[in-house]
Structure 1
Amino acid sequence: MCKTVPALKKSFTQLCTSARVTSAQLVSLHAKLGFKLPQPSLKSNLIENISIQLIDSYLAGSSKKISNFPTCLISLDMGVKNMSLSRFTTPIGSNPILQQCIKIDINPKEIQFNPNNYAEITKKFFFKQILEPIDDSVDEITILVERQRFRTGGRSNVLETTLKTNTVEAMLYMGTKMWNELLGKRDKKINILAIPPGNMVKFWLNEGKKMNLFDNSDVLSDTESKKFRIDLASKLLLCGLPQNFTEPIKQDINLDGIEKIFNLDSNIIKSIDINDKSNLKRWKKAWSFKSTSRKFYEVCNLINEFNQSKYQIDQSLWGKTKGDDLADSLLHGLAYWKYYQNRKQLYDCILHDKPLHSLLN
């Protein structure tokens, strides 16, 4: 049985009243659900906003049908020189499986910035990197894109690199809309979702506190937050690997409190074959870098090398040896998975009048 917005809001309000939920807890719940905060953030607005967004996201809007988590999820950290992509498949009832985590310079020849040229490189990325690797049996794809902002870098004008990235973003949206209009009924349907800036960061900072990765009182700077996210992505990746992959490097990386929420594709694990001495040496070397950013870059690069050919990106196109964009693309996808689980749990609480305690902690 699915509820309408008014009925869901009424039930949710009653649960919040009985649990004496505060505005601060509702703000935190927004982060857990991946919902943007309303303005002003009054308690009544927060309750109504969660009710509306829960219907739109978990119940597939006006159809009122409970939506399944996408079986094919692609998460993009946008850029031209450092476009990063994480690809997941999610069998029903299972955790996501990471099939690919790569970065790519989509304009390696430095062609001139104009609409015609950028339409061409965006089209090439869309077809070659997003669509071509997908199995014919997949009929629906979900693409996550963090909404881009207009950065000035302290200057009076918007940076040209920002304009280039925003242009590619807009063209990706246009491309998917045209695809669905022309081909969606007889080919794969593509859902492209704008992720509000900062949602993923807030979510994982809250999760990091729950995992005791830093104190509740700590306020991380932008640099510290970036380092934390790369370190977290590395640890989450390790948790999704068999013991013989983690054993050689566990003395250098503390996995206490880290929850296993995804697995690396078994095809990649078999291909790396850690029992091979040469592969083991390269695996240990990739994890040996002191820089967390370089370390994650090297690990993802090695995974790319041993991946199936349809998922591989040539080394010459990987761009700068930094892993922050790779980590963010991975964490965007995993955050979306956690949002879905939390939305599912909240809807179950509302539908069956269950306490909200587990979601408010």
Structure 2
Amino acid sequence: MSLRWLAHLKGVELRTLATSIGINSSGTKAALTASLETQIPRAALLLSHDTPESTLSKGRFKGKARANVLSIDMGIRNFCYSRFLVPESTHIPPQLVQWERKDIGESPKTIDSAAVKESFEPHVYAALAYDVLDRIFQEGHPSHVLIERQRFRSMGAAAVQEWTLRVNMFEAMLYAVLETLKRQGRWDGDVYGVSPARVAQFWVGGEEVVTKASRKKQKKDDEPGEKTVKTSKSKQTKALKMQLVGKWLRDSSKFSVNGQAQESAVKYQNVQTGKEKQSTFGKLDDLADSVLQGLAWLEWEANRQLISEKGMDALPELQKASRSSSGTG
């Protein structure tokens, strides 16, 4: 389908389209139009559109997966990943089959783990990258690998933190190992860097959160009232993302859970509700980020296909999805 109709859209409509496929949504109309014309046709997944009736007759998805998507949230002490099996049908949700957190420094067999904590040596991170990918690939060969894109600076600061350098080096080594496997013919998948800011914008952009900890009663002019204690935007976003994943685990609206991920899903909900201590499972925000990243990428791919097939008629559906995607229930 021709994309000439993009030239007739308003700026807000172009931004909706850009957000819906995970690309930069800022800039002039001309720049957005040019970017959309380039990016919309680049769909990595093509899903079949069978009817809901035929899907129901097949029962729960148990057959061959259309894609095996590995989503990595970068870190060294908190390296989190999730793996989704994606069915061919758009009417069957993906299955979350793995969901884990690892301390990379504790796990390598080829190097001294004590050296990892203080090292900036490339050979150390090369070994770390190979070891972790080797273990993950033994659990199941992914067709698509998503890696959280790292920044060199945080909050616009001039200084670059030491830990940031380490994670960036580890990120680069993961790409190098995957490229080597591909060149050697040992793996035929694809790798994508994913912006965490665009994932957050897609799921919780513009939302506000009020938690129990941020609510305090006060009296004002002898009238009872409620005020929200100011919290940073990043903390609000983290809270919303964790709530969102918890909601999806409860209602199975975005994905089903199977295999090893079932144990992680139970622990996640237990920690979230206070039944278990966080120390027994690890940071929920990093675990949530790996799931949100994987699901966002799958949604972006589905939206690329939707726009290619329906053209301008896809806009109402995308606008509706944009309004409802961040509801935490």
Distance in 1 separating the partners of 2:310 and 2:268: 44
List per-residue Cα deviations over 1:251-290 (Å, max 9, x = no partner).
Answer: xxxxxxxxx1110016765x89xxxxxx9xx898545319
Q: Which residue of structure 1 lines up, in the alignment, with residue 86 of structure 2?
A: 90
Gaps of 5+ in 2: 48-64, 107-112, 209-230, 321-329
Amino acid at match of 2:36: I
Could you tell me which of 123, 126, 131 is aligned with 2:133? 126
Pair 1:103–1:348, CA change in 2 (3 A):
same
TM-score, normalising length from structure 1? 0.66
- Per the alignment, in what secondary structure is the counterpart of residue 72 of structure 1? strand
Alignment of 1:325-344 (within 5 A): 325-344=286-305
Could you tell me which of 96, 103, 106 is aligned with 2:104? 106
How many percent of aligned residue pairs carry the same amino acid? 25
Distance in 1 separating the partners of 2:101 and 2:179: 24
Q: Which residue of structure 1 lines up, in the alignment, with residue 273 of structure 2?
A: 288
Could you tell me which of 170, 173, 189 is aligned with 1:171? 173
Q: How far is 1:360 from its partner? A: 3.1
- Per the alignment, in what secondary structure is the counterpart of residue 189 of structure 2? strand
- Per the alignment, in what secondary structure is the counterpart of residue 192 of structure 1? strand
List per-residue Cα deviations over 1:291-319 (Å, max 9, x = no partner).
Answer: 9xx66x86xx4xxxxxxxxxxxxxxxxxx
Pair 1:220–1:340, CA change in 2 (3 A):
farther
Amino acid at match of 2:137: L
Q: Is the 8 A contact 1:31 1:199 kept in 2?
A: yes
Pair 1:197–1:285, CA change in 2 (3 A):
closer
Distance in 2 separating the partners of 1:325 and 1:201: 13
- Per the alignment, in what secondary structure is the counterpart of residue 163 of structure 1? helix
- Alignment of 1:30 with 2:18, yes or no, is yes
Q: How far is 1:357 from its partner? A: 2.0
Q: How far is 1:188 from its partner? A: 3.2
Amino acid at match of 2:33: I
Comparing 197-206 with 282-291, greater Cα deviation is found at 282-291
Q: How far is 1:29 from its partner? A: 2.2
Q: Which residue of structure 1 lines up, in the alignment, with residue 54 of structure 2?
A: none
TM-score, normalising length from structure 2? 0.72
Q: Is the 8 A contact 1:70 1:142 kept in 2?
A: no
- Alignment of 1:358 with 2:311, yes or no, is no
- Per the alignment, in what secondary structure is the counterpart of residue 189 of structure 1? coil
**Structure with the bigger percentage of strand:** 2
Gaps of 5+ in 1: 61-65, 210-218, 241-259, 273-278, 302-320
List per-residue Cα deviations over 1:73-130 (Å, max 9, x = no partner).
Answer: 01111011110101111121121100111110111223233111111111100101x2
Distance in 1 separating the partners of 2:271 and 2:146: 28
RMSD: 3.2
- Per the alignment, in what secondary structure is the counterpart of residue 333 of structure 1? helix
- Alignment of 1:222 with 2:234, yes or no, is yes
Q: Which residue of structure 2 lines up, in the alignment, with residue 45 of structure 1?
A: 31
Pair 1:10–1:161, CA change in 2 (3 A):
same
Distance in 2 separating the partners of 1:75 and 1:205: 19
Distance in 1 separating the partners of 2:287 and 2:4: 42
Q: Is the 8 A contact 2:87 2:94 kept in 1?
A: yes
Q: What number of residue pairs does the alignment pair up?
A: 270
Q: How far is 1:11 from its partner? A: 3.9
Q: Which residue of structure 2 lines up, in the alignment, with residue 275 of structure 1?
A: none
